[in-house]
């Protein structure tokens, strides 16, 4: 109780799907329908995140967000997450040393209301978040998609070689009879 006799309501802790509470500077991974959206937790229930130039996560987004020129926003985590699951995921901590939390938060807050070029492959919300935390922009989603794409291309190429070899063999066999 304070000196006026009223009691402040206890803050409800914000926890991810594993029951962990984010700390300033943590990366937040939000699981959308067909992709993950990334944000940086800056404290007091807020995140800073990068939207596409039209103000949306993508056409598959489950959340309506403000559309506008400024694509770096600071919003309540619960609003950004909406009904989707989310997780604290400091994805590169095993490989890279995170910058100090106060540096991450200060830089994130200083970027709110500004714009960044957005490109799904070269600079998306995950690039933005990892750049703030580690000083390097990386996207595991893009890397995984490229690996899958190369794998599919490689498998297609291998299948094509087998089909061509079979056709050559069959052609040679029928001409030698």
CATH number of the domain that residue 31 is part of: 3.90.1720.10
Q: In whole angstroms, what is the distance from residue 113 CA to residue 82 CA?
A: 21
Question: Which residue in the list 27, 30, 35, 37 is annotated as catalytic?
Answer: 37
* pTM, rounded to two decimals: 0.72
Q: In whole angstroms, what is the distance from residue 127 CA to residue 125 CA?
A: 5
Question: What pLDDT is stored for residue 146 in this prediction?
Answer: 57
Using pLDDT thresholds of 50, 70 and 90, give the confidence band for residue 153. very low
In a domain, 81, yes or no: yes
Residues 95 and 132 in one domain: yes
Residues 84 and 167 in one domain: no
In a domain, 7, yes or no: no
Residues 32 and 94 in one domain: yes
Q: In whole angstroms, what is the distance from residue 127 CA to residue 138 CA?
A: 5
Number of domains in the chain: 2
- pLDDT tens digit sequence for 14-48: 999 999 999 999 999 999 988 899 999 999 999 99
State the helix-helix crossing angle for 125-134 and 140-176, rounded to 10 degrees: 130
In a domain, 129, yes or no: yes
In a domain, 151, yes or no: yes
The domain containing residue 164 runs over which residues? 139-177
Of the listed ranges 45-54, 65-74, 141-150, 168-177, the one predicted with least confidence: 168-177
Using pLDDT thresholds of 50, 70 and 90, give the confidence band for residue 117. confident
The residue with greater pLDDT, 140 or 16, is 16
Known catalytic residue: 102? no
Residues 76 and 132 in one domain: yes
- pLDDT tens digit sequence for 55-111: 554 433 334 444 444 589 999 999 999 999 999 999 999 999 999 999 999 999 999
In a domain, 160, yes or no: yes
Question: Which residue in the list 49, 116, 127, 133 is annotated as catalytic?
Answer: 49
Question: Which residue in the list 108, 111, 125, 129 is annotated as catalytic?
Answer: 125
Tokens 């009223």 label which residue? 6
């Amino acid at each position: 109780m304070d000196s006026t006799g009223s009691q402040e309501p206890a803050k409800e802790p914000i926890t991810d799907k594993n029951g962990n509470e984010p700390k300033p500077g943590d990366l937040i991974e939000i699981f959308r329908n067909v992709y993950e959206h990334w944000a940086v937790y800056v404290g007091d229930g807020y995140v800073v995140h990068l939207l596409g130039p039209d103000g949306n996560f993508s056409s598959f987004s489950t959340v309506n967000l403000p559309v506008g020129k400024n694509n770096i926003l600071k919003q309540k985590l619960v609003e950004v997450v909406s009904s989707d699951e989310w997780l604290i995921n400091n994805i590169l901590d095993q490989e890279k040393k995170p910058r100090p939390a106060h540096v991450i938060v200060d830089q994130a807050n200083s970027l709110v209301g500004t714009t960044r070029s957005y490109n799904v492959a070269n600079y998306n919300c995950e690039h933005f978040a990892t750049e703030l935390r580690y000083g390097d922009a990386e996207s595991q989603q893009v890397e995984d998609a490229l690996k899958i794409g190369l794998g599919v291309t490689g498998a297609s190429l291998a299948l094509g070689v087998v089909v061509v070899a079979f056709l050559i063999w069959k052609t040679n066999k029928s001409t030698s009879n």
